[in-house]
Chain A
């Protein structure tokens, strides 16, 4: 950790990785919040795993036709876009069961990736670096992509926040007010897709879902206001990424802490468990229930219990 802090301002690649963390934290806080509220974390898993198909295809075609611009992350981005559109149509338009559609996309995406990679001998090892990516090897171009995607996510949130909340809270509100659910759902899926691409660069495809969900889950255990949940989740995400990478940087090769992605998720997991414990203890479970004596039906616990009206002056109602 100490070595990491000393080297940040010397090594440009370290500074880049810290910047990438900040960018990822912004997307994670915002989009993760919508995902958790919508109870759609499975969608993140489906999109992230199907990125592998895009990575595989980009590696394959890039090598075969020598296309230097076709980087694996560009392939991932294209795959994410395709999956976003596909999922929207499968769930909203064709009205397929959400979990089935997601599982199908999840599995097919990964399978395509594996097929492409096995078609190129010698590349199998390479796939590992996408599954468990390291934030320390982020290039200038990756950073630029992350900036653009972040701007997109922030813009969409500023413009359509209320619609996303309505989508997560009660989808029918949108239909009843004459707003196309397909359109809002597609925008949501695109945000998820972009965020997944940013986060996959940080922690890799496999751990990306956890990084999007855990900070928000921790934050929502502590707050009941959406903007605050977003902010707190972003901070948790950045802190975990910073500490996780710092630990990995200092740790010698081949020890418990040497994988930055795993470190980040472990830290986020600990924060989540702690936050949940705080939330539980806040309710003071050791305290005994004491009904209040009031003359107001809206606050009288007795009224809520029996769902019947009664006189509050009744003797015995304590």
Chain B
């Protein structure tokens, strides 16, 4: 099995503040990896580095052995939610088709694109809403449409940024069930707050967080854990004390002050 994501000696910071320090990790193909950690710990930053939307200060990110820009067409990204104009006249199918916007230099969607888009909608269970205006859907359905858009681009690597953040428990379960199916044929990397729900089908957990000492350069502690009892692994993976009643398993009580960033 070959490597989907490989990150070596990565450091990244916004202006003066270093957010990620010396990251090394490898995600194999068809892995289901979850990134956990406290708010402001650099989870989304790590995802954006994998997408090539941010450039590392030091070290390198390779996706399928190439830079993120070079393999961009093989990556799909699902953001937390979209800010969009609620009067925007776009149907569900048209939204999904935008996932294939780069396929043709000229002209609109062909029959083949529509076919792929429809099967992506089928997969997320919204094929019957294809011609509904996107704005008329509920939050959970919109999230599924965004996932369908990502699938329509026929990716090999799917990156998701807290897809369950704005959803109720039932919708989250639907979305996660879908991701579980998808992970059988593609690599999935997901930022999540809700570790307990996703645990049964993830095979890797990446903890991204700060050290407690705010006077020093913020450090990052991350470990990639394979198999075994989750709580035990997290104890080993995240040396900082953590609260099991808290969704942020890696967030220590002494980090509470920092959580608001």
Contact = CB atoms under 8 A, between A and B. Distances in A.
A and B part of one assembly: yes
Contacts of A179: 101-102
B102 A178 contact: yes
A124 interface: no
A225 B88 CA distance: 9
Interface in B117-158: 133, 138-139, 141, 153
Contact of B101 (A168, A177, A225, A307): A177
A174 B53 contact: no
Interface residues of B, number: 36
A303 B97 CA distance: 29
A226 B93 CA distance: 13
A292 interface: no
Interface stretch (B26-34, B104-112, B186-194, B220-228): B104-112
B169 A178 contact: no
Contacts of B36: none
Interface of A: 37, 39, 158-163, 165-166, 168-170, 172-179, 220, 223-226, 229, 297-298, 303-304, 307-309
B106 A224 contact: no
Contacts of A168: 88
A151 to B, nearest CB: 16
A178 B73 CA distance: 7
A174 B101 contact: yes
5 smallest CB-CB distances across A and B, nearest first, come from A178-B72, A177-B102, A309-B170, A159-B106, A224-B89
Contacts of B106: 159-160
A175 B88 contact: no
B168 interface: yes
Nearest to B77: A176
Given A37-B89, A169-B88, A220-B89, A309 B102 contact: no
Interface of B: 51, 53, 69, 72-73, 75-77, 79, 82, 84-85, 87-91, 94-95, 97-99, 101-102, 106-109, 133, 138-139, 141, 153, 168-170
Given A37-B88, A229-B89, A158 B107 contact: yes
A158 B6 CA distance: 41
23 contacts: A158-B107, A162-B108, A162-B109, A163-B101, A166-B98, A170-B82, A170-B98, A172-B79, A173-B99, A173-B101, A176-B53, A176-B75, A177-B73, A177-B99, A177-B101, A179-B101, A220-B87, A224-B133, A225-B91, A226-B89, A226-B90, A229-B89, A297-B170
A229 B133 CA distance: 15
Contacts of A173: 98-99, 101
A74 B129 CA distance: 49
Contacts of B76: 176
Given A169-B90, A177-B73, A307 B168 contact: yes
Contacts of A220: 87, 89
Contacts of B94: 165
A165 B93 CA distance: 13
Given A37-B89, A159-B106, A165-B90, 17 more contacts: A39-B85, A161-B108, A162-B109, A170-B82, A172-B79, A173-B99, A176-B51, A176-B72, A177-B101, A177-B153, A178-B72, A179-B102, A298-B141, A303-B138, A307-B139, A307-B168, A308-B168
A169 B169 contact: no
Contacts of B102: 177-179
B257 to A, nearest CB: 30
B165 to A, nearest CB: 13
Given A163-B101, A177-B101, A179-B101, A223 B89 contact: yes
Given A37-B88, A178-B69, A162 B98 contact: yes
A14 to B, nearest CB: 36
Nearest to A33: B89
B168 A309 contact: yes
Contacts of A303: 138
Contacts of A308: 168
Given A165-B94, A165-B98, A169-B84, A298 B169 contact: no
A119 to B, nearest CB: 45
A172 B51 CA distance: 12
Nearest to B104: A162
Contacts of A174: 101
B51 A162 contact: no
Contacts of B79: 172
A295 B56 CA distance: 50
B53 A175 contact: yes
A159 B72 contact: no
Contacts of A169: 84-85, 88, 90, 95, 98
A37 B72 CA distance: 27
B139 to A, nearest CB: 8
Contacts of B77: 176
Nearest to A38: B85
Nearest to B138: A304
Contacts of B90: 165, 169, 226
